[in-house]
Structure 1
Amino acid sequence: MTTVVAPPRAEAKEPPPPPAEPRHLPRWAWALIVIGVWIVVWAFTKGQDTLTLGAREHTQLQNDLTEFRNAVLASRDTNPFIQFTYQLGEWFKEAVEWCQRMISIPDFPRPVPQIGWLGVTAVAVWIGLAVAGWRIALLVAASFVSFGLFGYWSDSMDLLIVTFVSVSVAVLIGMPLAVLLGTTSRLGNSIINTILDIFQTMPTFVYLLPIVLFFGIGASAAVVCTLIYALPPLIRIAGHGIRSVPSTTIEATDSAGQTSWQRLRKVQLPMARKTIVVGLNQTIMAALSMATIAAYVDGPGLGQPVLQSLFKNDVGGAFVPGMLIVVMAVMLDRTTTAASEASEKAARGRINMRQRRIVLAVAAVPVLVALWMSRFYTWAAAFPENNLGPSVADAVNSFTEWFVDAFGGATEWFKNVITEALINPMQSLLAESPWYVTATAIMALALVLGGLRALMPTVICLIGIYIFGLWHDAMITLTMTMVGTVLVMVMALVFGVWMARRKSVDLLLRPLLDAGQTIPPFVYLIPMLALFGPTRFTAIVAGVIYAAPVAIKLVADGVAGVSSSTVEASRSTGATTWQEITKVQLPMSKGSIVLAANQGLLFMLSMAVIGGMVGAGALGYDVVLGFSRSEEWGKGAAAGITIVLIGIMLDRIARAAANQDPITHNPTRRPWWRSSMG
């Protein structure tokens, strides 16, 4: 018997591991390399080809812009477009003046308005009760009484009128555009978003040069500039709400045979109502924030006394009307929010409508009595005079003087440290390098941080900055913006993380941040002037205070949104508090942090012109000069356009950087130059 021996089976071998891709430097390391090379080149070339333009020198393009302005003014009586814009401005002016005669100024020969303060307050309280409930009615009553008690009744009503007219027109224009944004194709969506991006990156002061040219000054210019600034939030937020209606709901309506108009009216708009109210709320807040800037073109309202106090360096005189603007903003914010919640409750049947109608009917009786009294009794028509406002202003001025005397040395030391350690070196690098070196370095940083998506708009914007002839001033403005953004982000990271990790801190700081976002930017300048004098550092600090609230809230919300299970997992591994923050919470909230930096940049840039009024110089001063002297209009317009180009460039770099994958040592990641090219 033979035995057949089977051949030995070959042992199975594991496939060889795939070759590891070479490690690549992270983006921040490439950025440091670019900056290092830039510094070396700057050391050998500083002061050459900086394209410095004298204070009263002009390029040919700037002279051409001035000639354009002169031609527009000369053709006012013959150009149909100019006639249309002036007629439109006249309609706005007539609407504002009619409302003023009704509630804020004497309607001659009547020595008081048609409806006095008591009647106006009663009607406003009744509206608050009708749309939002008795708590809002009490808030409205307290707010309106405070306008009169502090001596600014007429100015407060004027601001309400300009806000009401502007927001009404914004709704008429914005809602159709929001519907278009929410229902149109991707191409149409991209076009609308690009236009909105330009408006939102444009500093508000830049609007004023063309607005004054085409609409004149006064109430018409105030309404138009407020309208332009307040329109984008409504379009964006309402359009997002309409677009966010679930696709399954849309398909269900299509299967039911509804037309597009029926679908919009019966499904999309009702389901997006809450988001639309948020957009309306933000539009109202934006309109109020324009109060002081509108005053610069002789717009009526509380911005007028704030602006006058700025010229006199009167901190107390600006504090009282500035705080009344905040009171008005809080009142309108809470009213619109509560009205939305009340309508939701009513739609769900959680409110007894019969009882509510009875209460409103009974409450209407004293309102009618107050209206009658305000027409026939002087004390009810004109708010009684008192000294509360001047007393508060004097107290604020006394406190400011004491603070400056007590801490003037510390503030001077802080100013010198920041100036010598941060502002001067960065300005020398940006503004004293040859223009082509700076442009190359900025383009390289854009490519490193955001890829080709950031590089292309950066190239276009840099070409525009060069063409408009204010390169050196643009680099100084960019320096102040970048320094301010660094300070904003330091504050945002410190306070944002603190708020996210401590509920009590959030409850304490968030109302202060909300109030800070509603204070007009001019108000920040006055105490900063008292502390630091008219310097570029004053403008930077005022911009930091203006930009910090939104950045802090974004970081706080981002860190607070990190999953609690992730945080608990890090704690179970023995991570310290510092490791938990730096290794878990901050990396996982990177998107919010980048958005905070983006918004900080844009808010800082929006203060460029206002800073030009207090010694910051550069592009802000050029814009202000264009306002004050007709022969400088072209240079001011070029400076305004240059500010817009800087804003678009920084915005596109920040957005592209946020969309790029972080570069790690993970071999599955592609290097930035490959990912940017697809």
Structure 2
Amino acid sequence: MNYFDMPLETWTNSFVDDWLLPVTGDFFDSISEGLRTFIDGVTDLLIALPPELLVLILVLVSWKIAGKGVAIFALLGSLYLGSVDLWVEAIQTVSIVIVSTLISIIIGVPLGILAATNKLTASFVRPILDFMQTLPSFVYLIPAILLFGLGNVPAVIATFVFATPPAVRMTTLGIIQVPTDVVEASTAFGSTKWQLLYKVQLPLAMPSIMAGINQTMMLALSMAVIASMIGAPGLGSVVLEGISTVNVGLGLTGGLGIVVLAIVMDRITQGLSRKR
């Protein structure tokens, strides 16, 4: 039953057209240009490296961090990407994931630390994280396109919004779960707040923080296909083309490439957590 008419759509469009774009357009354009330069730089660097060298580095890192099995899988996965001619697309996807994950960590981990040590910040951040996690992922694309246009920049912004909450929540949870007696003992021996955080709480909370980073990276990669709808290059665009043309083989080829990247990234980050 409609007891009153609330023109939310009209209000929103008026706000965007009359204030947001005219006033903040130049600001978001500068952010877009900076991010585009950064993303293109990462992509160009990875593409410029010989694929054989990049595969060798990936295999050695996987072996050192995650073990022989993951190294063999990384080698076979790289050979698969090369054999189906998706190496460049894989590099483009990895670049978007690296940049968005890096931004999520730079913002999410300090915010999680602040939320764990300040109740006012926690009460302010919690509903924002709930909103970010419950909002359908497709909805992120609308403001991303509006403010940053098409391409890899809005993909990074949308991925950042989608993937940051686990980093914040797991960092907060890890610090809160540090045993109270350890904190009290450190304080009794004269530790300052900074020493307590840096030498006691963060090391003990590192497994939880690494789990949050792992989930952030996996969520960033899961946005690859969705981000391709706003012009993001990479394996997601291959899957999207397969969907739009009902080409099952093409969709499967790109989808398996995303699975390869997801497994390798997941095992490496898990290995980092265990070694830490």
Query: Residue in 1 aligned with 2:148?
Result: 215
Out of 46, 53, 56, which is 1:122 matched to?
A: 56
Number of the residue aligned with 1:161: 95
Q: Which has the larger radius of gyration?
A: 1
**3-state secondary structure, aligned to 1:211:** helix
Residue aligned with 1:322, SS:
helix
- Correspondence for 1:101 among 34, 44, 47: 44
8 Å Cα contact 1:302/1:325 also seen in 2: yes
Q: Deviations over 1:526-577 (max 9, x none)?
A: xxxxxxxxxxxxxxxxxxxxxxxxxxxxxxxxxxxxxxxxxxxxxxxxxxxx
Q: Take 2:149 and 2:194, find their aligned partners in 1: how far apart are those partners?
A: 39
Distance 2:62 2:227 in 1: 27
Output one character per residue of 1:224-259: Cα deviation in whole Å (capped at 9) or x when no partner.
Answer: 111111100111112101110011111001101111
Contact 1:86 1:216 in 2 (8 A): no
Contact 1:222 1:294 in 2 (8 A): yes
Q: Equivalent residue for 1:134?
A: 68
CA distance in 2, matches of 1:167, 1:318: 25
Which residue in 2 is equivalent to 1:67? 14
Aligned residues of 2:66 and 2:267 also touching (Cα < 8 A): no
Whole-Å separation in 1 of the counterparts to 2:75 and 2:209? 26
Provide the secondary structure at the position in 2 that maps to 1:97. Answer: helix
Shift of residue 60, structure 1, vs aligned partner: 4.4
User: Does 2:219 correspond to 1:286?
Assistant: yes
Equivalent residues of 1:73, 1:213 under 8 A apart: no
Q: 1:73 to 1:268 in 2, by over 3 A?
A: closer
Whole-angstrom CA distance in 1 between matches of 2:170 and 2:21: 41
Residues 99-156 of structure 1: CA deviation (Å, up to 9, x unaligned): 222233xxxxxxxxx2121121112222223333433322222222221122211111
Kept in 2: contact 1:69–1:213 (CA 8 A): no
1:91 is displaced (CA, Å) by 1.4
CA distance in 2, matches of 1:279, 1:211: 24
Q: Does 1:315 align with 2:245?
A: no
Kindly state the Cα deviation for residue 302 of structure 1 after the two structures are TM-superposed. Answer: 0.8
Structure 1: how far apart are the matches of 2:197 and 2:143? 36
Which of 120, 125, 128 is the matching residue for 1:195?
128
CA-to-aligned-CA distance 1:419-468 (integer Å, 9 cap, x gap)? xxxxxxxxxxxxxxxxxxxxxxxxxxxxxxxxxxxxxxxxxxxxxxxxxx
**Which one of the candidate residues 202, 227, 230 is aligned to 1:269?**
202
Per-residue deviation, 1:73 = 7.6
Deviation at 1:74, TM superposition (A): 5.9
The answer for the alignment partner of 2:192 in structure 1 is: 259
Q: Measure, in 2, the Cα distance between the counterparts of 1:141 and 1:184.
A: 45
**Residue type of the partner of 1:82?**
G
Whether 1:184 aligns to 2:118 is: yes
Match of 1:327 in 2: 260
| C-alpha distance after superposition, 1:589-610 (max 9, x if no partner) | xxxxxxxxxxxxxxxxxxxxxx
Deviations 1:643-673 (A, max 9, x none): xxxxxxxxxxxxxxxxxxxxxxxxxxxxxxx
Quickly say closer, same or farther: Cα 1:270–1:322, change in 2 above 3 A.
same
Q: Spell out structure 1 runs of 4+ moving beyond 4 A.
A: none
Secondary structure at 1:296's aligned position in 2? helix
1:59 and 1:262, CA in 2 relative to 1: closer, same or farther beyond 3 A?
closer
Q: 1:92 pairs with 31, 35, 55, which one? A: 35
Q: Does 1:144 align with 2:87?
A: no
Q: Distance in 2 between matches of 1:92 and 1:74?
A: 19
**Residue identity in the other structure for 2:32:** G
TM-score scaled by length of structure 2: 0.93
**Which amino acid is 2:27 matched to?**
F
**Alignment partner, residue 237 of structure 1:** 170
Shift of 1:279: 0.7
Matches within 5 A, 1:482-521: none
Task: Give the match for residue 139 of structure 2.
Answer: 206
Computed over aligned residues only, the root mean square deviation of the Cα atoms, in angstroms, reads: 2.0
Counterparts of 2:125 and 2:15 in 1: how far apart (Å)? 28
CA distance in 2, matches of 1:188, 1:61: 29
Gaps spanning 5+ residues in structure 2: where? Answer: none
Residue 623 of structure 1: aligned partner:
none
Q: Distance in 1 between matches of 2:127 and 2:239?
A: 34
Offset at residue 171 of structure 1 (A): 0.8
Q: Per-residue deviation at 1:329? A: 0.8
Read off the aligned partner of 1:127 and give its amino acid letter.
V
| Distance across 1 between alignment mates of 2:85 and 2:59 | 20
Matches of 1:69 and 1:227 in 2, distance apart?
A: 22
Q: Does 1:82 align with 2:15?
A: no
1:302 lines up with 2:249 in the alignment: no
Q: How far, CA to CA, are the matches of 2:68 and 2:272 in structure 1? A: 11
Larger helix fraction of residues: 2
Letter in 2 for 1:248: D
Distance 2:195 2:28 in 1: 35
Aligned in 2, Cα 1:66/1:171: closer, same or farther, shift over 3 Å? same
| Equivalent residue pairs, number | 275
Deviation at 1:59, TM superposition (A): 7.8
Asked if 2 retains the 8 angstrom alpha-carbon contact of 1:132 and 1:342, the reply is no
2:92 partner amino acid: D
> For residue 181 of structure 2, what is the aligned residue in structure 1?
248
SS in 1 for 2:191: coil
TM-score, normalised by the number of residues in structure 1: 0.39
Change (3 A) 1:137 1:193: same
State the one-letter code of the partner of 2:176: R
* Paired AA for residue 291 in structure 1: A
Q: Does the 8 A contact of 1:157 with 1:301 survive in 2?
A: yes
C-alpha contact (below 8 Å) 1:237/1:278 kept by paired residues = yes
Cα shift at 1:334 = 1.2
User: 2 CA distance for matches of 1:317 and 1:323?
Assistant: 10
Counterpart code for 1:245: V
Q: Offset at 1:92?
A: 1.4
2:109 equivalent to 1:175: yes
